[in-house]
Structure 1
Amino acid sequence: MGELVFTEKQEALVKESWEILKQDIPKYSLHFFSQILEIAPAAKGLFSFLRDSDEVPQNNPKLKAHAVKVFKMTCETAIQLREKGKVVVADTTLQYLGSIHRKSGVIDPHFEVSF
């Protein structure tokens, strides 16, 4: 795989987006997950906090917490790519994330939902 290049403009866009997202995480997380489920309805079963509901619950604290982690990690990754040219995540964090996703049955194609 070739080296990933992340421009200053791309980093700035992600940082700007994070500043907007963190102002209203519940609103944006609901929108984000609603879009995923509209594009890939079967993905709902992969989220333990969505699996047993008929819709994406607006005030679901687990949805909010998950979205914060996803949005924050995306922002931190953008900064690392720009500053270091690579992403460094603690081994324990990667192991934990991998084990959770594996237990949930998540596979590579599940990450390819396009907007």
Structure 2
Amino acid sequence: MSTETTNSTELDLDAIEARATAATAGPWTTGEDGLVWPPQMGDPVSGSVWLPDAEFIAAARTDVPSLVAEVRRLRAELDDERLRVGELRQDLRAADDSIGFLQQQIDGIRNGTA
């Protein structure tokens, strides 16, 4: 099994999701012996001599897919917000242009050149 070290901005969600999908179906549970069990009968999927580690491993089976979905949702929301910011910037430039034009008109009236 290979593990990759990536920083949080370089998450390969497709690869993470593929690993989660390929793993034994969940939810997984832990026994007091530290073994991590799938819902169907068979061999344990993992284990640890320290129960908190075993509980973490078991929870990861459902946590990872949930986290992938949440990251995708947040990325989509961020993309939408970026589009909205772009639209607002265009609106602001148009408003600035209008203000500049109106200021020229006001200055012309004040100077008697309009």
**TM-score normalized by the length of structure 2:** 0.31
**TM-score normalized by the length of structure 1:** 0.31
Decide which structure has the larger Cα Rg and report it: 2
Higher relative contact order structure (alpha carbons within 8 Å, sequence separation ≥ 6): 1
